[in-house]
């Protein structure tokens, strides 16, 4: 009887398929090609951005994601095309995507980060859910905030639906509410995100170049 049971369980085990953990929030393309090749010097607005990041991360959570950001510029405007299948809601409720940079934006980025040997072709864009100080005051715009403090989309407060299998931006005109493949202009803070040690392989050990947090998004005409 024991031998029969062993053979039965062995047969069942051989038929089992281990399914990867997936849900609507899982990113379905490789991480952005936004790794930096060398240390980036400070800019005129680094100190101000550092102060704002410190205020927004001076909260109870020891692992607050804003704590790991290296500030570069308080505000930069870059344009490009949203990479298909890159729009995702992270576990901390931030909404992220990869922006394939236009040539003009790559040149602007190169000047901003000190003419490195390698300029990323993409940049990781991150729209935080909210960013407040200990007193509850808004430090950066977020997509979950009240309207007056929300990230702007075409100059209006962004409206995002994360309830389905893919994220939809309700501000978009027409039936297609997905940002994938669309050409946009993004304004926000330029940082290097080193991520936690377990996630460093995403962009290399120097970290990922990001617009994080985002202040506004605008649709622009396709080329």
Beta strands in the chain (DSSP E): 69-82, 88-89, 95-101, 122-127, 131-132, 138-140, 152-153, 156-157, 160-161, 168-169, 183-193, 208-219
Cα–Cα distances in angstroms (integers) from residue 196 to residues 30, 49, 64, 68, 222, in the given order: 18, 21, 11, 8, 36
**pLDDT of 10 strictly over 80:** no
Window from 60-64, 66-70, 90-94 with minimum mean pLDDT:
60-64
Strand duo 95-101 + 88-89: pairing? antiparallel
User: For the chain, what percent of residues have pLDDT higher than 70?
Assistant: 80
CA distance 116 to 113: 7
User: Counting beta carbons within 10 angstroms of the beta carbon of residue 70, is it exposed (0 to 12), middle (13 to 18) or buried (19 or more)?
Assistant: buried
pLDDT of residue 119: 87
Domains of the chain: 31-219 (2.40.50.140)
Give pLDDT tens digits for 86-130: 999 988 899 999 999 999 999 999 999 987 778 899 999 999 998
Q: What angle do CA 72, 184, 115 make, to 5 degrees?
A: 35
SS3 call for 65: helix
pLDDT digits (tens, 9 = 90+) for 32-54: 889 888 889 999 999 999 999 99
Predicted confidence at residue 123, as pLDDT, reads 95
Which class for 126: exposed (0-12), middle (13-18), buried (19 or more C-beta within 10 A)? buried
Report whether 141 contacts 215 (CB < 8 A): yes
């Amino acid at each position: 009887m024991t031998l029969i049971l062993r053979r039965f369980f062995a047969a069942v085990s051989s038929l089992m398929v281990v399914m990867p953990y997936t849900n609507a929030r899982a990113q379905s393309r490789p991480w952005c090609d936004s790794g930096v090749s060398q240390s980036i010097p400070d800019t005129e607005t680094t100190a101000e951005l550092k102060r704002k990041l410190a205020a927004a991360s001076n909260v109870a959570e020891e692992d607050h994601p804003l704590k790991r950001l290296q500030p570069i510029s308080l505000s930069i405007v870059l344009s490009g095309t949203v990479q298909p299948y890159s729009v995702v809601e992270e576990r901390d409720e931030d909404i992220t995507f990869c922006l394939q940079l236009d040539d003009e934006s790559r040149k602007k980025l190169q000047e901003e980060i000190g003419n490195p040997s390698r300029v990323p072709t993409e940049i990781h864009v991150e729209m935080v859910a909210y960013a407040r100080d200990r007193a509850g005051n808004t430090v950066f715009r977020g997509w979950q905030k009240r309207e007056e403090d929300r990230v702007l989309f075409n100059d209006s407060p962004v409206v995002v639906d994360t309830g389905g299998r893919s994220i939809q931006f309700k501000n978009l005109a027409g039936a297609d509410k997905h940002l994938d493949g669309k050409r946009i202009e993004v304004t926000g803070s330029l940082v290097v995100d080193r991520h936690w040690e377990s996630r460093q392989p995403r962009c290399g050990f120097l970290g990922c170049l990001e617009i994080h947090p985002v202040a506004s998004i605008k649709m622009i005409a396709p080329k």
